[in-house]
Each structure stands twice: as structure tokens, then as C-alpha cells.
């Protein structure tokens, strides 16, 4: 349309005298028009080819999308089937483990009842024998006593010769020896019964590795254990069962302790930390960090406000239990501190070390008051007597020593 308008304008503007020139221009425009028609045809061909290619591409995209959707669905179905298989396998394994645990528990319960019945039967038999032996001894004793009385009566009433008196004396000696033998038999039965009485009352199992520390609650109803399996366990002694497992350490639990009121537990481990636990729910209330090496021993102060720890870094540390703050460090040992203990009044602390010594410390300032030497090997365990006057130490030299604390404290007061 534009070309026609241009041609009309051109003819309008060209004078009649210039018809030849106009014809030449018309030829030029006709040539351009032909060229435009050819270009338009080519464009139409290209457009059709592009549309064809676009349609092919759309078909390819649709094919790929369908294939992807199919592959995704197949994979999802495959994983769903695998998940269902795993769930079924897990459920089967869990059921098998539960059954095995129940069978094992029933087995141990039955075995425990058998052992208890056997123990009761054995104890009853020994008690019966002991009573029989006691009755026999009493019979012989009364017989000897009666014989002696009769001898004295005869000696009083009859004028016997010296030979007769000697003979009667020999008879009396025989009877006395018999009584002695009866007493020895009674003692033998008592010893055997005592041996039976000192056999274990119960054996508790639950840890998967060695148990490294144990403690009683103050009321004697519960026990606490620390193990190389990185856990603590609370045991009910009347029920003979694990009541709770305390998890949080990532290395061996080397030492455990109950607070005086039994509400809290303290543990020290090879992960260089102490932990304070709520006994009622097994939750870790606080972690005490500060030692540079294994924590080998822990103890509560008598009032339960402080905790004491001994470490392989050669130090002791005093901690405020409820704030978690480090109060002070006790320095002086040249080897691992293997055991710590508070005095009954809480004023002093005692420690035993691989350096073969014990040290007595003033808790108020962390000063070493005395060093006790005498062991020829590492000191692994220390304890105060209930009145605080004495201390015990156990050593790798296969001895334990009793130390008089009162004389040292009196000497300190004098100084």
C-alpha cells in the first residue's frame, strides 16, 4: 500500500514533459517492488521454517517434560518402596529386639529367683546345723557341769583315795576337752555361715563397658555408677533396676558423687569436664569447664554448696555448685590428682596423687597445709574418718595407711 501511495505521489509531482524520466523511475520502483516481493517470499519461507522448528522444539520440550515427569515419578515410587521396606525391616528388628530384651529379662528374673531360693535354702540348712550344733554343745556343757557337780558331791560325801580323785579328774578333763571340741565345731559353723552372709546380695547389670566409680545416696535407697561407656546410671536398690541413665559426657566417666540431700549428682570425666545432674529427671543442669586434662575425682562439700575436683592436670579446683563459677585452684602436686575428699566440717580437703603423696588443703584459701609422704607408689584413693580426726590412703604399693589428722591440725593451731 505504501508503495502505491509513493507511486501516485510521484506521478502527481512529475511534469508531462518528463514522461521519459518518469518511466525510468517507474522501472526502478517496479524493480524495487519485485525485490521486495522476493524478500517477502523469503521471509515467509523463513517464518514457516521457524514455525516448524518452533513446533519441533515444543514437541521436544513436551517429550522431555513427560520423560522427566515419568523418571521423577519412577524414582519417587522406588524410594517410597525402599522407605516402606526399611520401615518394615526396622519394625521387625525393633520387635525382635523387644522380644529378646523381654526374654532376657525374664531369664534373669527366673535365674535371680532360683539363686534367691537356693540361698534361702542353703542359709536355712546352715542355720539348722548351727542350731543342732549349739544344742549338742549345750547338752555336753550341761552334762559336764552336772558331772563336775556330782564329782564335787562325791568328794564331799565320800572319803575317796587320791587315785580315785585323779581318775575322776581325768574324766572331768575328757569331758572338758569334749566341750571344747563342741565349741570349735560351733565356731566352724558360725564361720561358714558368716562366709555365706558376705556373698553378694545382688548383681546389677546395665552398663556396656567397665564401671569406674560408684556411690550410695545418703538414705541408702539408691546407687549411682559411672562407666567407660560415657554414661551414669541411677539404680533402685529395692527394685534392682536401672531407674535412669544420664547422658552427656563423651569420654570415660571417672568419678561420681551424690549431693548430701540426694537431689543432685556430680560426675567427672576424661572429657575434662564436671557435670551437675538433676537426679529426678536425669537432666544435666550445668557443665563445669576449666581443667586442662582428665577429671579423675569429684566430691560434694558436706553442705552441698561446693564441688571439688581432682585432675590429670595436677590441680584441684573448687566450684560453686549453683552458680557454676570456679572459686579457686589448688596447686602443689606434681602428678595426676587421683582422689579428693572434704573433711566432715568442710573446712579442709584431702588429695592423693600419682606423685606418691597426700596433701591437706585449707579450702578457704587453697593453701597446702601439709604433705604426707610414706607411700612408695601412686596414691589412688583418700578418705576422712566421720569425725575428721583420721585419714586413710590407698596406694599402688599394695598398702593403705592411716594418718592422724588431729595432731597436724593442733600443730597448725599452735603455729
DSSP string, 104-154: HHHHHHHHHHHHHHHHHHHHHHHHHHHHHHHHHHHHHHHHHHHHHHHHHHH
The predicted structure's pLDDT at residue 148: 64
Q: Which CATH superfamily is domain 211-414 in?
A: YVTN repeat-like/Quinoprotein amine dehydrogenase (2.130.10.10)
The predicted structure's pLDDT at residue 143: 62
Instruction: Tell me the CA end-to-end span of the chain in Å, nearest whole number.
Output: 128
* CA–CA gap between residue 345 and residue 389 (Å, rounded): 11
How big is the CA angle at 280 (ends 274 and 281), to the nearest 5 degrees?
75
* CA–CA gap between residue 137 and residue 154 (Å, rounded): 25
Q: Which three cell numbers stand for residue 395?
A: 596406694
Helix 19-157 and helix 2-13, axial crossing angle in degrees, nearest 10: 150
Q: Which three cell numbers stand for residue 54?
A: 518452533
Check: CB of residue 347 under 8 Å from CB of residue 353.
Answer: no
DSSP string, 170-198: HHHHHHHHHHHHHHHHHHHHHHHHHHHHT
- Going across the sheet that includes 367-372, the strands are 337-342, 348-353, 358-362, 367-372
* CA–CA gap between residue 337 and residue 311 (Å, rounded): 5
Region of 293 please: left (phi>0), alpha (psi -120 to 50) or beta: beta
The predicted structure's pLDDT at residue 78: 80
What is the value of pTM for the model shown? Answer: 0.54
* CA–CA gap between residue 347 and residue 274 (Å, rounded): 22
Contacts of 284 (CB under 8 A, 6+ apart): 246, 248, 275, 276, 277
What is residue 328's three-state secondary structure? strand
The predicted structure's pLDDT at residue 140: 58
Q: Which residue has the cell 564335787?
A: 152
The predicted structure's pLDDT at residue 112: 63
Q: Which long-range contacts (CB under 8 A, 24 or more apart) does 252-255 make?
A: 252/212, 252/227, 252/228, 253/212, 253/213, 253/226, 253/227, 253/228, 254/212, 254/213, 254/226, 254/294, 254/295, 254/296, 254/297, 255/212, 255/213, 255/226, 255/295, 255/296, 255/297, 255/298
The predicted structure's pLDDT at residue 56: 76
Contacts of 383 (CB under 8 A, 6+ apart): 341, 350, 391, 392
Q: Domain segments of the chain: what residues? A: 120-197, 211-414
Check: CB of residue 116 under 8 Å from CB of residue 201.
Answer: no
Say if strands 264-269 and 273-278 run parallel, antiparallel, or are unpaired. Answer: antiparallel
* CA–CA gap between residue 365 and residue 158 (Å, rounded): 86
What average pLDDT values come out for the chain (415 residues) when binned by 10 residues?
A: 51 54 74 77 75 75 74 76 80 76 71 70 63 61 64 60 62 62 59 55 89 93 94 92 95 96 96 96 95 96 96 97 95 96 95 96 95 95 93 94 76 53
**DSSP 8-class letter at 362:** E
Amino acid at each position: 500500500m505504501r508503495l502505491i501511495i509513493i507511486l501516485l505521489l510521484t506521478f502527481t509531482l512529475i511534469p508531462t514533459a518528463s514522461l521519459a524520466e518518469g518511466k525510468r523511475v517507474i522501472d526502478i520502483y517496479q524493480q524495487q517492488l519485485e525485490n521486495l516481493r522476493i524478500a517477502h517470499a523469503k521471509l515467509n519461507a523463513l517464518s514457516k521454517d521457524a514455525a516448524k522448528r518452533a513446533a519441533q522444539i515444543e514437541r521436544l520440550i513436551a517429550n522431555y517434560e513427560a520423560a522427566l515427569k515419568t523418571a521423577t515419578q519412577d524414582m519417587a515410587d522406588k524410594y517410597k518402596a525402599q522407605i516402606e521396606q526399611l520401615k518394615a525391616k526396622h519394625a521387625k528388628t525393633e520387635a525382635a529386639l523387644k522380644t529378646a530384651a523381654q526374654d532376657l529379662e525374664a531369664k534373669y528374673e527366673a535365674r535371680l529367683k532360683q539363686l534367691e531360693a537356693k540361698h534361702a535354702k542353703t542359709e536355712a540348712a546352715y542355720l539348722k546345723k548351727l542350731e543342732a550344733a549349739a544344742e549338742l554343745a549345750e547338752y555336753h556343757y550341761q552334762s559336764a557341769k552336772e558331772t563336775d557337780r556330782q564329782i564335787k558331791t562325791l568328794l564331799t560325801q565320800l572319803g575317796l583315795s587320791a587315785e580315785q580323785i585323779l581318775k575322776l579328774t581325768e574324766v572331768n578333763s575328757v569331758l572338758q576337752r569334749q566341750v571344747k571340741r563342741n565349741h570349735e565345731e560351733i565356731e566352724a559353723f558360725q564361720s561358714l555361715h558368716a562366709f555365706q552372709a558376705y556373698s553378694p546380695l545382688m548383681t546389677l547389670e546395665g552398663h556396656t563397658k567397665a564401671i569406674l566409680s560408684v556411690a550410695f545416696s545418703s538414705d541408702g535407697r539408691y546407687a549411682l555408677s559411672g562407666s567407660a561407656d560415657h554414661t551414669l546410671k541411677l539404680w533402685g536398690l529395692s527394685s534392682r533396676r536401672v531407674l535412669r541413665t544420664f547422658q552427656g559426657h563423651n569420654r570415660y566417666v571417672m568419678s561420681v558423687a551424690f549431693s548430701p540431700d540426694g537431689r543432685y549428682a556430680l560426675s567427672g570425666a576424661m572429657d575434662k569436664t564436671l557435670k551437675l545432674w538433676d537426679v529426678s529427671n536425669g537432666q544435666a543442669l550445668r557443665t563445669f569447664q576449666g581443667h586442662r586434662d582428665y577429671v579423675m575425682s569429684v566430691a560434694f562439700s558436706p553442705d552441698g554448696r561446693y564441688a571439688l575436683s581432682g585432675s590429670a592436670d595436677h590441680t584441684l579446683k573448687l566450684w560453686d555448685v549453683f552458680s557454676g563459677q570456679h572459686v579457686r585452684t589448688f596447686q602443689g602436686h606434681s602428678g595426676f590428682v587421683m582422689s579428693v575428699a572434704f573433711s566432715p566440717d568442710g573446712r579442709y580437703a584431702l588429695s592423693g596423687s600419682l606423685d606418691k603423696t597426700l596433701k591437706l588443703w585449707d579450702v578457704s584459701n587453697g593453701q597446702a597445709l601439709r604433705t604426707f609422704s610414706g607411700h612408695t607408689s601412686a596414691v589412688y584413693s583418700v578418705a576422712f574418718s566421720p569425725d575428721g580426726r583420721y585419714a586413710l590412703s590407698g596406694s599402688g604399693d599394695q598398702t593403705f595407711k592411716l594418718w592422724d589428722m588431729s595432731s597436724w591440725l593442733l600443730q597448725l593451731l599452735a603455729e
